[in-house]
């Protein structure tokens, strides 16, 4: 088992800051979750969710609780009610998400708003090269992942009752403005490549203004894979989902093939022998997605989409550094984030320049 798999897989005791009274929750579930039968035990998933996520085990079944973290939060952050809404809509449409049971807005139960969904049994792969798998399984799973994202982008979101789930159109303009502003608010040092991207991106937005449901963080470790088959059985972590541009979502997912080793999380597939692994190369993966979504001409302006995604991630990590500067985050976390901002921005600028 890899270090990353070991660090993130499974559950542990509930962290001190995230504890709550189990009795109130058990009473609430008895009244609001069909078929629930206690007693109830609670543990916490180890994986790095920004919304604390718990395994609930009872006589009737296993469940998952996902809640806002305690403490002072940004107004639009950690919107578990939005997660519950999108999961409910997609579950009804047959998309692979956990069955949603109930959204609770009463903060008296566990201390913050939360929702409960089914526990989906299966595997989560924390390493993109899936070291414990074989070539055939990797090939089949990556193709199914591609199909899953293409299917998500093909839904008529209005027909699912999600017409007001986000603002259709001008997605990149709004995103660039948002992340440029957050970067400026958190800036701790001059990063030349970020300055270049902030100027370049608004002037180079493609004409394609497609609109779809977007996940916002679609990657391998946010998927539950069938216990024995190379099939996605549930897509998790819908915190960043909205109505946006499908190519923003897909090309963010492509960062798995593009991410250099900069010392944060997974190192990506750069430098790995994808043919030997059974994982499609980036070009073949793009072609399959385009075939499934009817993009007969492929993806134009790919340099823009990749530059945007590296810029966005750099801005997110700069925000961590800014919170340390303001005394609201741990310095050890910041040191890693600060180191990543410049190489991420440099990679983004290389794409902007077509390199």
pLDDT (0 to 100) of residue 20: 87
CA dihedral 195, 199, 201, 203 (to 10 degrees): -170
Write down the pTM of the prediction.
0.89
Summarize the confidence of residues 72-100 as an average pLDDT.
85
CA-based nearest residue to 32, from 148, 114, 136: 114
Read off the pLDDT band of 17 (50, 70, 90): confident
Pair of tokens at residue 2: 């890899």
Domains of the chain as residue ranges with CATH: 3-118 (3.30.200.20), 135-352 (3.90.1200.10)
pLDDT (0 to 100) of residue 97: 98
Count the alpha carbons within 13 Å of 94 in the hemisphere toward its beta carbon.
Answer: 3
Summarize the confidence of residues 37-50 as an average pLDDT.
81
Query: Which residue's structure tokens are 């945007």?
Result: 308
Pair of tokens at residue 276: 């030997």
Phi, psi dihedrals of residue 16, rounded to the nearest 5°? -50, -45
Q: 11: which strand partners?
A: 45
Read off the pLDDT band of 265 (50, 70, 90): low
pLDDT (0 to 100) of residue 73: 43
Query: Which residue's structure tokens are 């809640």?
Result: 67
- Residue 136 CB neighbour total at 10 angstroms: 10
Work out the mean pLDDT of the chain and round it to a whole number. Answer: 89
Please tell me the distance from the alpha carbon of residue 297 to that of residue 280, in angstroms, as a whole number: 20
Q: For the ranges 29-33, 69-73, 132-136, 210-214, which has the lowest average pLDDT?
A: 69-73
In this predicted structure, the answer to whether residue 30 has a pLDDT above a threshold of 70 is yes
3-class SS at 266?
coil
Summarize the confidence of residues 128-142 as an average pLDDT.
96
- Residue 221 CB neighbour total at 10 angstroms: 20
Q: For the ranges 17-26, 37-46, 62-71, which has the lowest average pLDDT?
A: 62-71
CA-based nearest residue to 106, from 29, 194, 204: 29
CA-based nearest residue to 109, from 46, 57, 61, 65: 65
Read off the pLDDT band of 289 (50, 70, 90): very high
How do residues 299-319 score in pLDDT, each as one tens digit? 999 999 999 999 999 998 887
Phi, psi dihedrals of residue 60, rounded to the nearest 5°? -75, -35
Q: For the ranges 74-88, 162-176, 195-209, 319-333, which has the lowest average pLDDT?
A: 319-333
If residue 144 lies in a helix (H) or strand (E), which one and from where to where?
Answer: helix 135-153
């Amino acid at each position: 088992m890899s270090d990353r798999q070991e660090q993130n897989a499974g559950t542990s005791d509930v962290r001190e800051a995230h504890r709550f009274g189990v009795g109130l929750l058990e009473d609430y579930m008895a009244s609001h979750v069909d078929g629930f039968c206690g007693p109830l035990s609670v543990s916490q998933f180890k994986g790095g969710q920004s919304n604390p996520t718990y395994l609930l085990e009872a006589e009737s079944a296993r469940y998952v609780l996902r809640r806002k973290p305690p403490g002072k939060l940004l107004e639009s952050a950690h919107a578990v009610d939005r997660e519950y809404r999108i999961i409910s809509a997609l579950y009804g449409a047959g998309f692979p998400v956990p069955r949603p049971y109930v959204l609770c807005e009463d903060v008296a139960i566990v201390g913050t708003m939360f929702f409960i969904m089914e526990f989906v049994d299966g595997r989560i792969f924390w390493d993109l090269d899936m070291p414990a798998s074989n070539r055939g399984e990797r090939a089949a799973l990556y193709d199914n992942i591609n199909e899953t994202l293409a299917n998500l982008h093909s839904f008529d979101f209005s027909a699912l009752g999600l017409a007001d789930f986000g603002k259709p159109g001008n997605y990149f303009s709004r995103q660039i403005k948002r992340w440029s502003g957050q970067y400026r608010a958190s800036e701790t040092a001059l990063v030349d490549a970020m300055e270049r991207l902030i100027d370049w991106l608004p002037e180079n937005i493609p004409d394609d203004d497609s609109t779809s449901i977007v996940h916002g963080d679609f990657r391998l470790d946010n998927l539950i894979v069938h216990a024995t088959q190379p099939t996605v059985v549930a897509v998790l972590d819908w915190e960043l989902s909205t109505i946006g541009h499908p190519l923003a979502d897909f090309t963010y997912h492509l960062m798995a093939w593009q991410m250099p080793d900069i010392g944060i999380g997974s190192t990506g597939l750069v430098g790995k022998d994808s043919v030997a692994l059974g994982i499609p190369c980036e070009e073949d993966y793009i072609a399959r997605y385009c075939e499934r979504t009817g993009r007969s001409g492929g993806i134009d302006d790919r340099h823009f989409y990749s530059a945007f995604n590296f810029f966005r991630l750099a801005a997110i990590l700069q925000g961590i550094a800014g919170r340390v500067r303001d005394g609201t985050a741990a310095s050890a976390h910041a040191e890693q984030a600060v180191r990543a901002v410049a190489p991420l921005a440099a990679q983004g600028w290389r794409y902007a320049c077509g390199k």
